[in-house]
Amino acid sequence: MFEIHRAGWRILSGAGAYFLTDLILGMTAFSVIILGILWYFSLGWIRLTMEFSQRGVVFGSSAQLLLAWVGVIVALPMLATTVLLAIRAFRLPGQVLKVGRAKAH
């Protein structure tokens, strides 16, 4: 069995904190971008349906319009929830650093 030196614990905890920060940031960015695209696409679908209906042309079905409204209504709270959870998750890298410092002493 081997023992890790103090500097080793600090390096490992720093690398772990960096990895966690990068992971949280990447997952949050991906989720926010996808939810933003869903919201924008749904809003665009509603606008297109309204524009076509003003001209008397049928565009899509009522089920598609309903799903677009659901997308617009649901995506915004999910965006806010994603950002809130990401802000709270950014506490984890600090905890990893604290554990590494405690092990180094």
Span 58-82, pLDDT tens digits: 888 999 999 999 999 999 999 999 9
Give yes or no for a contact between 97 and 17, defined as CB atoms under 8 angstroms apart.
yes
Instruction: Give the CA distances from residue 38 to residues 21, 65, 68, 75, 99, in Å, rounded to whole numbers and listed in that order.
Output: 26, 14, 9, 7, 39
Structural domain including 17 reads: 6-99
**How many domains does the chain divide into?**
1
CA atoms within 13 A on the CB side of 12: 12
Q: Does 105 fall in a domain?
A: no
Residue 1 within any structural domain of the chain: no
Please list, in sequence order, all residues whose beta carbon lies within 8 angstroms of the beta carbon of residue 9, skipping any fewer than 6 positions away: 100, 101, 103, 104
Contact residues for 39 (Cβ-Cβ < 8 A; gap 6+): 71, 72, 75, 76, 79
pLDDT attached to residue 6: 76
104 is a domain residue: no
Predicted pLDDT at 82: 96
Cα angle for residues 4, 15, 94 (degrees, 5° grid): 100
Intervals of the chain under pLDDT 50: none
| Assigned domain for 46 exists | yes
pTM, full prediction = 0.79
Amino acid at 8: G
pLDDT at residue 103, rounded to an integer: 73
